[in-house]
Structure 1
Amino acid sequence: MVVTCSGDGLAHEVFNGLGKRRDAKKALAKIAVTHVPCGSGNAMSCNLCGTDSPSLATLAIIKGIPTPLDLISITQGETRTLSFLSQSVGIVAESDLATENLRWMGAMRFNYGFLVRLYGKKVYPCDIAVKVAIEDKPSIKEHYRREMNNHEPASERRGYKNLLDDDASASSGYDDGLPALRYGTVNDKLPDGWELVPYDRLGNFYCGNMAYMASDANFFSPALPNDGYMDLVCINGDISRLEAINMMLSVEKNKLFEMPGVWYRKILGYRIIPKDQPDGYISIDGERIPFQPFQAEVHKGLGTVLTKSGHMYEAPGPL
């Protein structure tokens, strides 16, 4: 394993370092990336270990079960990056990246950044195309419950041991060790069946691969480590301030998923094109990337982590 003693950013770097190897598929399957929480958000540890305590996380890592983790390819310009946690455009990205100077506040800086932008009712116009897999909340709940009741470790379902023993499979059919992109890159023609839709009132575009985004923010309660989907939340920016505050408070109470103004989908990929503003913030796993169009697609079980259950996050699911 690789043990990162850090915030979530160092884990992002480790996944991308492994992804640059010629044998990336084998390396990402064989080497578990783990997290002893030493940062502001510590989302990875909260999801995998159920704690943001360094000592308790260390114990959970020692006892952890190898678990496949979906990873997401982000293409922007000529660059391909792996994401393990989240991608955001809008108020969440700004609340994180525009408050770097307030790290002394700890996790409270995210709330402060959110409230400042909420008061101004900021919107972030974008054109968005999404490949939807599960589009209604009852079906998403049922999908989550099926996995919760499946107690076979996900590593056994992936054929984890066989994969590690099969050196030939690590490079066969792979470009630079990573899976080929099913939907191409952001520079390619829009994939068949995708349609760019203008969202001129977008307040928050938030795509997650884990449930907790911070110790008190179970933002994507139906998220699963290895279901082959990304979880997408979109919220308009011109909703009332009271409604927006209620949404923020609902995250801590695990009620965001049920809020009527929250557009929640399980998806396979998306393309997003910011417009009408020269610069802004795009966050990939909490790291800033250029304010330019990008495209994302998910790779089922490409990475490996250690979890308590072998197939679930340590977060309460949707109510």
Structure 2
Amino acid sequence: MDQRRAEPDRNNSINPVSLYGEFTLTDNRKVRCAVSLTERDLIVQRLTSAPVGRSKVVLSLKDCVGCRAYLEDDNADPAAYFAAHFYPLRRRWVSSGVSRQRAEQCFRLAALQDPRANLEEAEKWARAVRERAARQQSLRRNGVLMSTLSRPSRMMLLVNPQSGQGQALTLYNNHIQRMLNEAGVTHTLVITERQNHARELVKEADLSQWDALVIMSGDGLLFEVINGLLERPDWAEAVRTPLGILPGGSGNALAASVHHYSGASLVSTEELLVSCGFLLCQGLVAHMDLVSIQLSSGPRLFSFLSMAWGFVADVDIESEKYRHVGAARFTVGTLVRLASLRVYKGKLAYLPASEDDHSEDEGSGNNMARHCNGQASSVAPSGDSPRQNTFHNSCHSNNSHKVRRTESTCKALGGPPDSLLPPLDQPLPSDWVVVTEEDFVLMLAMYQSHLAEDLLAAPHATSDDGVIHLFYVRAGISRAALLKLFLAMEKGAHLATNCQHLVHAKVRALRLEPHSPKGIITVDGEVVDYGPVQAEVHRGLARLITG
């Protein structure tokens, strides 16, 4: 074929070609291709008819995780090679949805007899692909992107080999190791050996060696890591270390949330792992809210996902015995608990989020410094629930109730001070809403979108909206109605059921006082001491590798 006819129009103002070349495929030297690189795409056009197949492939650079140039070990071969690695969204065979699937393009460059000259040309292509792919990632953030990880990145990858069905290491070997290598990410694999092992490691680690800490497990391991970071003397800097999540457990709520924030359609199991691995390789970093949890005993805890009491907490913990069935354990646990539905007595109160909070915290990604100086934390809600509008007329400034501490006290406590919470044994401020009902089926506080892979509990939540999404279900709901709620939650449609027993409010802080003598309270799926508990959101305190 005439090369002049194959060469694309370089003057296309919409997507002009910046590099053009003709190479053979690495795995079949009989196939010659015209390769064009634009600002947005890598375009591969076959110039030979054998073997029969698709003649043209267009791969979007926003789906590219890496590109490398190399020489083979064979000294007699003067050719150089470059390989580009993509994970585009493609339609699944078994359903109408789409998921990320690996696509690789490898080319052989042998125009010259000098291997070094061929390698130089291959490196020029690889560098150009990487640079344009990085620009595409930044462009599609549209001003939302906070930062990107440095390239090449150095990650500590913590894996719990016992999480989920005990398949975390196998999943790492089958998927993640190759993806990180393709993206040029240097990583050190750390296998946790016991409970709180990760917490101890990050408390003592030299964090300057790492660009990110990545957790491949269920949500419990990330809970350890976050609290370990906030127990360090240098917590204010340590908590800014970007955190990555790869699903390796049975719940995988944060991994499902990160996937959801990327705008992709629902996936599960290994497809979710590939999606989160792709986002990790891109290295885009956003802020993430953390919620401080005060118990009547022991030090504060910091939570990234949820706090639960009643039905949800019971199912989470009681379903541990079904861990061998993976994510289905929650379905089994739900059906078992529905068969003997419990009612829990207690008192619930909360500080509603209001539109006034948004102007206070506009553009604040660095409110840790204000926390340490004793300033008030402030949040920005993303709209109000109709159920809480009646409370906003009574809301007023909470300045008289703020907790003011010196910088030295702030550092000693580990983490920013709580500015909205009085001590647990003291009355609440007058602008808090007290729920009069004392009989509950459940209380659930969410600050990510997903409660599990298949439970979209807070569909409008984002990682840094500064809001706790509070849900509670009053006693009197039937088993059938409660089951209907959880089935609707699979698609985030539970609020649209208009269930009279379900209440949703966006809040900045809350307090729960259980009156039932026995019960379970969980924070990020971990059991905490049963008794009075209160919580406050700290907007954008942590960093999350997300889409």
1:183 aligns with 2:430: no
Give 1:191 deviation, angstroms. 2.9
8 Å CA contact 1:49, 1:61 repeated in 2: no
CA contact (8 A) 1:122 1:238 kept: no
How far residue 55 of structure 1 moved from its aligned partner, in angstroms, is 3.3
RCO greater where, 1 or 2, for CA within 8 Å and sep 6 or more?
1
Question: Which consecutive residues of structure 2, in runs of 5 or more, have no partner in the other structure?
Answer: 1-211, 261-266, 374-405
1:272: which partner in 2? 512
Which range moved further: 297-306 or 220-229? 220-229
Q: Confirm or deny: 8 A CA contact 1:186 1:271 kept in the other structure.
A: no
Deviations 1:53-87 (A, max 9, x none): 33332221110311111100001123200000000
Deviation of 1:159 (Å): 5.3
Q: Give the RMSD, CA atoms, in angstroms.
A: 2.6
2:279 pairs with one of 60, 64, 88: 60
1:261-310: per-residue Cα shift (whole Å, max 9, x none)? 2211110111101113x2221110000011111110110110110111xx
Can you give the 5+ residue segments of structure 1 that lack an aligned partner in the other structure?
144-155, 309-319
- Any residues of structure 2 matched to 1:153-168 within 5 Å, and which? 157-158=363-364
Cα distance in 1, alignment partners of residues 319 and 437 from structure 2: 25
Larger Rg over CA atoms: 2
Counterpart residue number, 2:343: 123
Question: Per-residue displacement from partner, 1:210-247 (whole Å, max 9, x unpaired)?
Answer: 01111111011111211211001111232122211211
Structure 1: distance between partners of 2:368 and 2:342: 48
Q: Deviations over 1:27-70 (max 9, x none)?
A: 112x1111111100111111113465333322211103111111
Using a 3 Å threshold, how does the CA distance of structure 1 residues 61 and 185 change in structure 2: closer, same or farther?
A: farther
Distance 2:350 2:510 in 1: 4
Partner of 1:302: 541
Q: Contact 2:469/2:506 (CA < 8 Å) preserved in 1?
A: yes
- CA change 1:99–1:70 in 2 (3 A) is same
Structure 2 counterparts to residues 1-319 of structure 1, below 5 A: 1-29=212-240, 31-50=241-260, 52=269, 53-76=272-295, 77-134=297-354, 157-158=363-364, 172=407, 174-176=410-412, 177-184=414-421, 186-193=423-430, 194=432, 196-261=434-499, 262-276=502-516, 278-308=517-547
The count of aligned residue pairs is: 283
Call closer, same or farther: CA 1:243–1:159 in 2, change over 3 Å: closer
TM-score (norm 2): 0.49
Asked whether the 8 Å contact 1:128–1:271 carries over to 2, the reply is yes
Residue 106 of structure 1 deviates from its aligned partner by 1.4
Q: CA deviation at 1:163?
A: 8.6
Of all paired residues, the percent bearing the same amino acid is: 31
Distance 1:58 1:247 in 2: 31
**For residues 318 and 436 of structure 2, what CA distance do their matches in structure 1 show?**
25
> Matched residue of 1:253: which SS?
coil
Distance (Å, rounded) in 1 between the aligned partners of 2:495 and 2:219: 24
CA distance in 2, matches of 1:237, 1:100: 26
Structure 2: how far apart are the matches of 1:59 and 1:13?
A: 24
Q: Tell me if the contact between 1:73 and 1:81 (Cα under 8 Å) persists in the aligned partners.
A: yes
